[in-house]
């Protein structure tokens, strides 16, 4: 009686524990983050940039640049690797979609023959013997024989959502690899454009250096004539020669930098080093853009890195569901059917050779060295890490956009100043030459004016390029300027 009562209580307690342990996992949602609704900027900036709304083809109209971008999409090594990663995750996702279905295996031919001897543990009475009614031989009589062809059926019932969460996780990883490719693509477009405009800057700076070299050479020739006339000293000639040599050195440096830039750009687009074709663009070009006042936060959602971290969080959350389900009882159904006979000549003697069976099992882990508990706790910690990473990417995206917008505004001011400085420096250079020829200025003032003219003109080209680069940065900071396509969730 006491034993029956004890068993009753044990049964009830076990049932209650099972209910608690087998409770369904609640779906995980990210915590609310304190984010601004808009990006606050000075009132002098007024509208949303067109670069957010227009496609890439309209943003970069230079034919040579468009060709480079297309070549990068086709040949860039990182992008090609991303395609393979996406294809791999696609295969895993397809596998997860059919994990709910039962498995079916066909054993076409299975032959078993066992031999025993007089001194073995077997005997004719313990198994089948070919020649019944006779004494067994002392060595090597057949004690067991089987010829069979069977079909094995097994079905795991997803009662705790393990397979469902595996599918969700695989789908999230596929989507993450899809937008990870967009991360590379966005970065690639911006980097190719930046490198191309940097190449144009080097072209223009080389042309400025060449003109300055020609101007300094003419000044040197003029000083030599004055030296021959006894109006200036040999020091003036030497100073002017140094100015010409400095201009030559600058041209050589710019040529070196330009060739290296061409090689790096061709490598970026997946081509062998060599010359890069130029289009009709210059650093004076204006990329389609209007200044920004209050940029809606939702535009940051276009950034592929933000989307990728969100899918990573979804995959980590699904992993928690999988590890939790692994700790719970597993229900499976197995069936086997086919043909089996002792003698091969009776193999296809139907129904005498028919074989069949069905097994239902409910198994639960009991003692496994805390392995499943550790996997579950680690999965939860990994999910927390994924959430932190997602929040970090959102905050970084906001800071990236805001910094780019500040740079755009300040570069506009710097460009106005650079234009004025260049104009003043050119006028000063003309005045110094006229005063020098008239005898009202010495050669040092001409040399100083030449250096300032060169510096201001090079700085003007650099500032124009920086402004173009900042607008490309905004294109990249907002996710490439296009709405992020969602991968096909039914047929990835």
Q: Please say which residue of 363, 384, 406 terminates a domain.
A: 363
When pLDDT is cut at 50, 70 and 90, the band that residue 10 belongs to is: very low
Residue 408 lies in a domain: yes
Q: What is the per-residue pLDDT for 377?
A: 94
| 21 contact partners, CB below 8 Å, separation of at least 6 | 327, 328
Packing angle of the helix pair 77-97, 162-228 (nearest 10 deg): 170
| 12 contact partners, CB below 8 Å, separation of at least 6 | none
CATH (domain of 68)? 1.20.1600.10
Backbone torsions φ then ψ of 6, nearest 5 degrees: -60, -45
Q: What is the per-residue pLDDT for 31?
A: 52
Q: Is 132 strand, coil or helix?
A: coil
pLDDT at 161 over 50: yes
Q: What is the per-residue pLDDT for 313?
A: 92
Using CA atoms, how far residue 146 sits from 127, 157, 358, 455, in Å, is: 12, 32, 20, 95
Same domain, residue pair 301 and 393: yes
Q: Which two tokens stand for residue 122?
A: 């077997």
Q: What is the per-residue pLDDT for 253?
A: 95
Residue 208 lies in a domain: no
Residue 265 lies in a domain: yes
Q: What is the per-residue pLDDT for 68?
A: 92
Q: Which two tokens stand for residue 60?
A: 């970069």
Q: What is the per-residue pLDDT for 199?
A: 92
Residue 148 lies in a domain: yes
Same domain, residue pair 149 and 51: no
When pLDDT is cut at 50, 70 and 90, the band that residue 140 belongs to is: low
When pLDDT is cut at 50, 70 and 90, the band that residue 159 belongs to is: confident
Q: What is the per-residue pLDDT for 272?
A: 92
Q: What is the per-residue pLDDT for 315?
A: 92
Q: What is the per-residue pLDDT for 121?
A: 54
Residue 133 lies in a domain: yes
Q: What is the per-residue pLDDT for 18?
A: 47
Same domain, residue pair 323 and 335: no
- pLDDT (tens digit per residue) in 282-309: 666 655 554 444 555 666 777 888 888 9
Same domain, residue pair 41 and 144: no
- Whole-angstrom Cα distance, residue 311 to residue 322? 17
- pLDDT (tens digit per residue) in 332-350: 889 888 888 877 777 777 7
Residue 332 has, within 13 A of its CA and on its CB side, a CA count of 16
Same domain, residue pair 276 and 422: yes
Same domain, residue pair 289 and 424: yes
Q: What is the per-residue pLDDT for 48?
A: 43
pLDDT at 1 over 80: no
DSSP assignment of 53-110 equals TS-HHHH---HHHHHHHHHHHHH-HHHHHHHHHHHHHHHHHHHHHTTTSPEEEEEEEE
Measured in whole angstroms, how far is the alpha carbon of residue 169 from the centre of its chain? 18
Same domain, residue pair 94 and 106: no
CATH (domain of 356)? 2.20.200.10
Same domain, residue pair 147 and 51: no
Same domain, residue pair 469 and 404: yes
Q: Which residues pair with 357 in a beta bridge?
A: 336
- pLDDT (tens digit per residue) in 15-61: 444 444 444 444 445 455 555 555 444 333 334 444 454 567 767 77
Same domain, residue pair 286 and 166: yes
pLDDT at 200 over 80: yes
Span 453-462, average pLDDT: 89
Which spans in 439-485 are helix H? Answer: 443-477
Q: Please say which residue of 315, 347, 363 terminates a domain.
A: 363
Q: What is the per-residue pLDDT for 449?
A: 87
Q: Is 113 strand, coil or helix?
A: strand
pLDDT at 219 over 50: yes
- Whole-angstrom Cα distance, residue 446 to residue 436? 7
When pLDDT is cut at 50, 70 and 90, the band that residue 351 belongs to is: confident
- Whole-angstrom Cα distance, residue 443 to residue 433? 9
Residue 85 lies in a domain: yes
pTM of the model: 0.73
Q: What percent of the chain has pLDDT over 90?
A: 22
Same domain, residue pair 193 and 282: yes
Question: Any idea which of 242-256, 269-283, 284-298, 327-341 has the lowest mean pLDDT?
Answer: 284-298
Mapping DSSP onto H, E and C, the string for 183-226 reads: HHHHHHHHHHHHHHHHHHHHHHHHHHHHHHHHHHHHHHHHHHHH
Of 186, 247, 232, 195, give the one whose Cα is nearest residue 457: 247
When pLDDT is cut at 50, 70 and 90, the band that residue 7 belongs to is: very low
Domain count, the chain: 2
Question: Any idea which of 5-9, 100-104, 164-168, 397-401 has the lowest mean pLDDT?
Answer: 5-9
Same domain, residue pair 283 and 374: yes
Q: What is the per-residue pLDDT for 249?
A: 94
Question: Any idea which of 237-251, 316-330, 382-396, 431-445 has the lowest mean pLDDT?
Answer: 431-445
Residue 464 lies in a domain: yes
Averaged pLDDT of the chain: 79
Domain that holds residue 41: 31-100+159-197+222-228+255-328+369-477
Q: What is the per-residue pLDDT for 389?
A: 92
Span 110-118, average pLDDT: 73
- pLDDT (tens digit per residue) in 168-190: 999 999 998 988 888 888 888 88
pLDDT at 405 over 70: yes
Q: Which two tokens stand for residue 312?
A: 């990573």
Span 400-414, average pLDDT: 87
Q: What percent of the chain has pLDDT over 70?
A: 76
- Whole-angstrom Cα distance, residue 61 to residue 281? 9
Residue 16 lies in a domain: no
């Amino acid at each position: 009686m006491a034993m029956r009562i004890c068993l009753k209580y044990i049964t009830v307690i076990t049932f209650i524990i099972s209910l608690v342990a087998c409770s369904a996992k609640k779906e995980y949602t990210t915590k609310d983050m304190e984010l601004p609704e808009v990006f606050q900027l000075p009132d002098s900036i007024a509208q949303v940039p067109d670069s957010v709304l227009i496609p890439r083809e309209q943003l970069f109209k230079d034919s040579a640049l468009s060709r480079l971008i297309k070549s990068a999409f086709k040949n860039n090594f990182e992008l090609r690797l991303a395609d393979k990663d996406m294809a791999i995750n696609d295969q895993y996702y397809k596998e997860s979609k059919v994990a709910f279905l039962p498995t079916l295996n066909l054993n076409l031919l299975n032959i078993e023959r066992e031999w025993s001897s007089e001194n073995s543990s077997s005997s004719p009475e313990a198994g089948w013997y070919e020649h019944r009614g006779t004494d067994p031989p002392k060595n090597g009589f057949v004690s067991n024989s089987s010829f069979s062809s069977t079909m094995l059926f097994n079905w795991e019932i997803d009662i705790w959502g393990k397979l469902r969460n595996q599918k969700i996780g695989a789908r999230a990883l596929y989507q993450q690899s899809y937008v990870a490719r967009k991360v590379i693509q966005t970065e690639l477009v911006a980097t190719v454009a930046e490198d191309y405009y940097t190449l144009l800057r080097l072209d223009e700076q080389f042309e400025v250096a060449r003109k300055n070299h020609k101007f300094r050479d003419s000044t040197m020739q003029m000083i030599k004539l004055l030296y021959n006339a006894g109006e200036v000293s040999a020091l003036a000639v030497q100073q002017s020669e140094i100015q010409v040599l400095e201009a030559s050195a600058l041209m050589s440096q710019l040529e070196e930098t330009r060739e290296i830039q061409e090689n790096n750009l061709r490598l970026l687009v997946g081509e062998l080093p060599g010359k890069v074709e130029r289009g009709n663009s210059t650093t004076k070009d204006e990329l389609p853009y209007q200044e920004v006042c209050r940029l809606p936060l939702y535009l940051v959602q276009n950034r592929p890195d933000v989307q990728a971290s969100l899918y990573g969080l979804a995959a980590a959350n699904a992993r928690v569901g999988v590890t939790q389900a692994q700790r719970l009882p597993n229900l499976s159904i197995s069936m086997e059917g086919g043909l089996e006979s002792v003698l091969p000549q009776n193999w296809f003697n139907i129904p005498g050779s028919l074989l069949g069976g069905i097994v239902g099992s409910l198994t639960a882990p009991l003692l496994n060295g805390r392995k499943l508990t550790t996997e579950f706790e680690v999965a939860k910690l990994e999910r927390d890490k994924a959430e932190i990473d997602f929040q970090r990417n959102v905050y970084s995206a906001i800071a990236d956009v805001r910094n780019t917008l500040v740079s755009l505004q300040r570069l506009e001011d710097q460009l106005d100043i650079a234009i004025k400085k260049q104009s003043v420096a050119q006028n000063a250079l003309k005045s110094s030459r006229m005063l020098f020829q008239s005898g009202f200025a010495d050669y040092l003032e001409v040399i100083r004016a030449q250096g300032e003219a060169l510096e201001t003109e090079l700085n003007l080209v650099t500032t124009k390029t920086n402004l173009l680069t900042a607008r490309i940065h905004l294109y990249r900071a907002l996710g490439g300027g296009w709405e992020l396509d969602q991968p096909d969730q039914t047929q990835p």
